Structure 1
Amino acid sequence: MPTLHVLSHSPFGDDRLDSCLRLLGSNDALLLCGDAVYALRDGSDTQRVLQTAGLAQRLFALDEDLQARAISSELAKAVDYPAFVALSLHYDKVNSWL
């Protein structure tokens, strides 16, 4: 069952991102929002992990949060709130990593 995983916590405070990546199925997607977008910061270890995770076309980031933190990334597709809703409807399940 394809799942959209939603992370909102900084990847530098705990291991939610690592746990999520271990559980991601081949049809699952990952949406970074809030402080989780810091994972896309250029040159960071988390950016390198995401680059090697094989998430092409399945890694998204909330555009508002990217802009608020002055982060740009070609690794993740930036989405607005309507696209976030569309993503949540596209996948069978949504798992928020609280």
Structure 2
Amino acid sequence: MATLHVLSHSPFSDSRLSSCLRLLGPADGLLLCGDAVYALQSGTVQRQALNLIPDGIGLFALDEDLGARALIAPARTQVVDYSGFVELSCRFDKVNSWL
């Protein structure tokens, strides 16, 4: 069963990102929103960890949150709007929000 993992907390304040990365399955997806998009900052340990995700796992970021933080997503990241967020939620069998 493919799961969309949704992270919204800063990757610098706790270990949710690293915990999530350990649990990703081969058909899962990871959506970064809110302060979690800071994990995409170039030169960070978190970005290096995201770069190691296998290509079969989707990496997504919410466009509005990237813009609010003046971040540009790397090429591997698919940028989605709110409609895309809803589409992703329907595409995957389960949605796990890392609260």
Q: TM-score range by the shorter chain?
A: over 0.9
Deviation at 1:75, TM superposition (A): 3.0
Give the deviation of 1:56 after TM superposition.
5.4
- Structure 2's unaligned 5+ residue stretches are none
Which runs of 5 or more residues in structure 1 are unaligned? none
1:75 maps to 76
Alpha-carbon distance in structure 2 between the residues aligned to 1:46 and 1:55? 17
**Structure 2 residue aligned with 1:11:** 11
Q: Give the match for residue 46 of structure 1.
A: 46
Tell me how many residue pairs correspond in the alignment: 98
Q: Is the 8 A contact 2:27 2:56 kept in 1?
A: no
- Alignment match, 2:37: 37
Q: How does the TM-score come out when normalised to structure 1?
A: 0.96
CA distance in 2: counterparts of 1:49 and 1:57, whole angstroms: 13
Distance, in Å, in 1 between the alignment partners of 2:29 and 2:60 is 8
Query: Residue 29 of structure 1 contacts residue 55 of structure 1 at CA under 8 Å; is this kept in 2?
Result: no
Alpha carbons 2:26, 2:57 under 8 Å: kept: no
Matches within 5 A, 1:86-97: 86-97=87-98
Measured after TM superposition, the shift of residue 55 of structure 1 is 4.3
For residues 75 and 10 of structure 1, what CA distance do their matches in structure 2 show?
20
The TM-score with structure 2 as length reference comes to: 0.95
- What RMSD, in angstroms, separates the aligned Cα atoms of the two structures? 1.1
